[in-house]
Amino acid sequence: MEVVAYLDHAATTPLRPEVVEAMAPFVDQRYANPSGAHALARDARRAVEEAREEVAELVGARPAEVVFTSGGTEADNLAVLGTLARCAGPAEAVCSSIEHAAVLSPMRAAAQRTAAVPGVPGIGLHEVPARADGVVDLDALAAVLGHQTVLVSVMTANNEVGTVQPIAEVARVVRALAPRAVLHTDAVQAAAYLDLAEVTAPCDLVSLSAHKVGGPKGVGALVVRSPHDVVPLVLGGGQEQERRSGTHNVAGIVGFATALRAAVAERPTERARVAQLRDRFADAVLGAVPDAIETVPRTATLPGHCHLRFEGLDHDELLVVLDRGGVCASAGSACASGALEPSHVLVAMGLDRAQARSGVRFTLGRTTSAEEVDQAAAVVASAVASLRSGC
């Protein structure tokens, strides 16, 4: 298999070499369980706590506020279910309709479960629409907030179209209209490019994932800003201050901190470099396929995102031809690719089924080069031309 261009960095990013190096001793010689009582255990525990301090500092939290999890999905579930489990009496939860399934599914499950139990006060759920430009509709958000609202979740940046959400404004509206609400943001996609210490400062809960910043898969964190707390989902040995039981993934946690540190250090230069390459790619495709449509304005997205629609084509067919041409891209979130349903994000933005199924997400990142994007643009242009000509 010859890969011409890996343009699927929003699905996952290649491991950084320094991360591989930092993780290696913990896969091999420094293998102890950090909860143990001997020298080797203390060594592993020190590594976990140093990583915690580092992650905390990089995202503007205190070390005690960082709960390591098995990734972004678990962090989102812990934020949603761990908050709603604390609510007694009738309550309402609110999220944007363009959230990742890791937020939408637990929100819907909690609402359905409580609705199904007679005599138990239910949790009402409001899914707030997005505007056509992929940004959550703040007026619609304000309209559903109130004293009954116990949880609001709006992502920092969308994984499919890449739109950066107005978290500061969301927080202002939530604090003004829903004083009881815990505010959660899923910052999984934003971590590589935005200053999370600043952007997520008004949020009570923040979800992170290592593999979107050049770290390993299967590790992430939920920042739980005091005085809020979450009811644990995983019970057992009481690790992570009773918030998340299970033997620590020491190598993964060390890799996560190393990756985040590297991402933050290179962020200023990478933001500009990646945005320039994204523009070069988008312009080249639009030059060769003039009726291609940019789904959202580039200025509103993370620098690596380029979501294009090719009217009349179906993304599944296009992705097969792109794959044959060595271009790795996707139809939306990695979990949804292969599914026949149109993207819930594009539908929430007001696109019809055919329009939604004509969209492809190209995401650039740290390893992307000019040569790669030029080759990819040529492959995209010829794939569209061949599908349109029926060949």
Q: Which of 230, 250, 249, 252 is nearest to 241 (CA)?
A: 230
Has 95 been annotated as catalytic?
A: no
Q: How far is the CB of 78 from ligand PLP (least distance, A)?
A: 12
DSSP-derived letter for residue 121 is P
Is 96 a binding residue for ligand PLP by CB under 6 A? The answer is no
Q: How far is the CB of 15 from ligand PLP (least distance, A)?
A: 14
Helices 250-288 and 370-388, axial angle in degrees (round to 10): 60
Q: How far is the CB of 77 from ligand PLP (least distance, A)?
A: 9
Is 258 a binding residue for ligand PLP by CB under 6 A? The answer is no
Is 13 a binding residue for ligand PLP by CB under 6 A? The answer is no
Which residue stretch of 72-80, 123-131, 163-171, 237-245 sits at the interface with ligand PLP (rule: CB under 6 A)? 72-80
Which residue stretch of 81-89, 185-193, 298-306, 379-387 sits at the interface with ligand PLP (rule: CB under 6 A)? 185-193
The dihedral over CA atoms of 221, 225, 230, 236, expressed in degrees to the nearest 10, equals 50
In the bound state with ligand PLP, the residue whose beta carbon lies nearer, of 127 and 379, is 127
3-state secondary structure of 219: coil
The DSSP-derived string for 221-249 is EEEE-TT-----SS-SS-TTTTTS-S---
Which H or E run contains 354? helix 353-356
Which residue stretch of 58-66, 117-125, 182-190, 369-377 sits at the interface with ligand PLP (rule: CB under 6 A)? 182-190
Which residue stretch of 181-189, 195-203, 306-314, 322-330 sits at the interface with ligand PLP (rule: CB under 6 A)? 181-189
The DSSP-derived string for 267-305 is HHHHHHHHHHHHHHHHHHHHHHSTT-EESS-GGGB-TTE
Give the per-residue contact string, 189-228, with ligand PLP (x = CB under 6 A; - = no).
x-------------------x-x--------x--------
Which H or E run contains 220? strand 220-224
Is 102 a binding residue for ligand PLP by CB under 6 A? The answer is yes
Q: How far is the CB of 134 from ligand PLP (least distance, A)?
A: 13
Is 165 a binding residue for ligand PLP by CB under 6 A? The answer is no
3-state secondary structure of 156: coil
**CA-CA distance, 263 to 222, in Å (whole number)?**
18
3-state secondary structure of 113: helix
**Choice from 201, 231, 286, 334 touching ligand PLP (CB under 6 A):** 334
For 275-310, give one letter per residue: b (16+ CB within 10 A) or e.
bebbeebbebbbeebeebeebbebebbbbbbbbbbb
In the bound state with ligand PLP, the residue whose beta carbon lies nearer, of 111 and 219, is 219
Place of tokens 């908050």: 83
Q: Which of 242, 223, 224, 221 is nearest to 233 (CA)?
A: 242
In the bound state with ligand PLP, the residue whose beta carbon lies nearer, of 45 and 315, is 315
Q: How far is the CB of 137 from ligand PLP (least distance, A)?
A: 19
Is 162 a binding residue for ligand PLP by CB under 6 A? The answer is no
Nearest residue to ligand PLP by CB is: 72
Is 260 a binding residue for ligand PLP by CB under 6 A? The answer is no
Neighbouring residues of 220: CB distance < 8 A, sequence distance ≥ 6? 68, 69, 70, 71, 72, 74, 75, 188, 207, 208, 209, 210, 256
Is 97 a binding residue for ligand PLP by CB under 6 A? The answer is no
Which residue stretch of 34-42, 69-77, 108-116, 304-312 sits at the interface with ligand PLP (rule: CB under 6 A)? 69-77
Please identify every residue annotated as catalytic. Answer: 335
Chain residues binding ligand PLP by CB under 6 A are 71-73, 76, 100, 102, 155, 159, 186, 188-189, 209, 211, 220, 333-334
